[in-house]
């Protein structure tokens, strides 16, 4: 599922390869793709417009248009944007084709069919993004994130994993990265937020920024469906320690990674390194 690092990678490719292009024709191949406006208006408004920029907010991929509108994608579980050429034309699971000048086409394919697109004006986009939490790789969160996390979460009795998955708390984190983040922070995914110490909030903040930055550096994580605009898998799956490593040795101790449901989501952790039961004054564990 594309999370912050994957969408960031796609955004950078669009900036490099697609910004400045004219949209000459629009083909919506799956009407379920377009949530706003109507499919007919979506095609009509996009045709003849220029792509002037690309940016990301949380897991939203935002294509800026010369008209002042914004083409906003949520790639959900399996959305792929592929530029043809240089990529070979995809034949299956197609939802959208944007024909560009220079005889190029930007294909949106998704085997799951869950990807959604909206064409919004500036006011609509602002409303759409208004509830999202801070961007974890921006300077404000890097510099003040420990204080922020403590202020909004330290009184909460909810489990820490579902809280981190809440896009209103911190934007862009999904199931893959939250498991890795909690492993690095040595926090059990069921720990209640109001039991974390100041030192643990510091570890959690560092783990968030470090894991997401590493994911961006490695062009995202391909567990199953994710590909970049040039149809290449990411590389960060080669660096995962616990996600989908159930039954394998923990890299930090002699224990074994297990998989359980937490907050309704498949969750991977080491019960030896990430203790569920917390007691004040409990001795800290150190990962190797």
Residue 287 clears pLDDT 70, i.e. is over it: no
Burial class, 188, CB count within 10 angstroms (exposed 0-12 / middle 13-18 / buried 19+): buried
- Token representation of residue 81: 């944007």
Tens of pLDDT, residues 161-207: 999 999 999 999 999 999 999 999 999 999 999 999 999 999 999 99
Query: Is-catalytic flag, 118?
Result: no
Backbone angles phi, psi at 159, to 5 degrees: -70, 145
Question: For the chain, what is the mean pLDDT?
Answer: 95
Domains of the chain: 4-129 (3.20.190.10), 139-269 (1.10.8.50)
**Burial state string for 48-67 with b = 16 or more CB within 10 A and e = fewer than 16:** ebebeebebbbbbbbbbbee
Residue 283 clears pLDDT 70, i.e. is over it: no
Tens of pLDDT, residues 92-141: 999 999 999 999 999 999 999 999 999 999 999 999 999 999 999 999 99
pTM: 0.93
Burial class, 88, CB count within 10 angstroms (exposed 0-12 / middle 13-18 / buried 19+): exposed
Cβ count within 10 A of residue 2: 30
Catalytic residue among 2, 134, 136, 189: 2
* Mean pLDDT, residues 1-10 taken together: 95
Confidence of residue 1 (pLDDT cuts 50, 70, 90): confident
* Mean pLDDT, residues 19-33 taken together: 97
pLDDT recorded at residue 277: 73
pLDDT recorded at residue 279: 53
Which of these, 99, 106, 105, lies nearest to 80 by C-alpha position? Answer: 106
Tokens 């417009």 belong to which residue? 49
Query: Is-catalytic flag, 224?
Result: no
What is the C-alpha separation between 238 and 150, in angstroms, rounded? 32
Tens of pLDDT, residues 217-238: 999 999 999 999 999 999 999 9
What is the C-alpha separation between 201 and 199, in angstroms, rounded? 5
Burial class, 233, CB count within 10 angstroms (exposed 0-12 / middle 13-18 / buried 19+): middle
* Mean pLDDT, residues 13-17 taken together: 98
Query: Is-catalytic flag, 210?
Result: no
Query: Is-catalytic flag, 91?
Result: no
Catalytic residue among 57, 59, 191, 241: 59
Catalytic residue among 76, 156, 232, 265: 265
């Amino acid at each position: 599922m594309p999370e912050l690092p994957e969408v960031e990678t796609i955004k950078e490719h669009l900036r490099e390869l697609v910004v400045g292009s004219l949209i000459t024709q629009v083909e919506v191949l799956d009407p379920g793709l377009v949530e706003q406006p109507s499919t007919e208006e979506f095609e009509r408004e996009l045709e003849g417009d220029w792509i002037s920029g690309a940016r990301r907010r949380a897991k939203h991929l935002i294509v800026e248009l010369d008209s002042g509108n914004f083409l906003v994608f949520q790639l959900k579980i399996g959305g792929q944007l592929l530029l043809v050429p240089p990529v070979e034309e995809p034949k299956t699971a197609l939802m959208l084709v944007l024909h560009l000048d220079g005889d190029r086409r930007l294909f949106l394919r998704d085997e799951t069919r869950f990807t959604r697109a909206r064409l919004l004006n500036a006011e609509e986009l602002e409303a759409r993004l208004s509830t999202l939490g801070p961007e974890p790789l921006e300077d404000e969160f890097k510099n003040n994130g420990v204080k922020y996390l403590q202020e909004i979460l330290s009184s909460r009795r909810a489990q820490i994993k579902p809280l981190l998955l809440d896009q209103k708390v911190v934007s862009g984190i999904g199931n893959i990265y939250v498991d890795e983040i909690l492993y690095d922070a040595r926090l059990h995914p069921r720990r209640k937020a109001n039991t974390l110490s100041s030192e643990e909030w510091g570890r959690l903040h560092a783990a968030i920024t470090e894991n997401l930055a590493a994911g961006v550096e490695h062009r995202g994580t391909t567990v199953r469906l994710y590909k970049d605009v040039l149809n290449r898998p990411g590389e960060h799956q080669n660096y995962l320690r616990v996600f989908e490593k159930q039954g394998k040795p923990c890299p930090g101790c002699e224990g074994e990674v297990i998989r359980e449901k937490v907050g309704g989501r498949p969750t991977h952790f080491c019960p030896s390194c990430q203790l569920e039961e917390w007691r004040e004054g409990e001795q800290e564990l150190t990962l190797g």
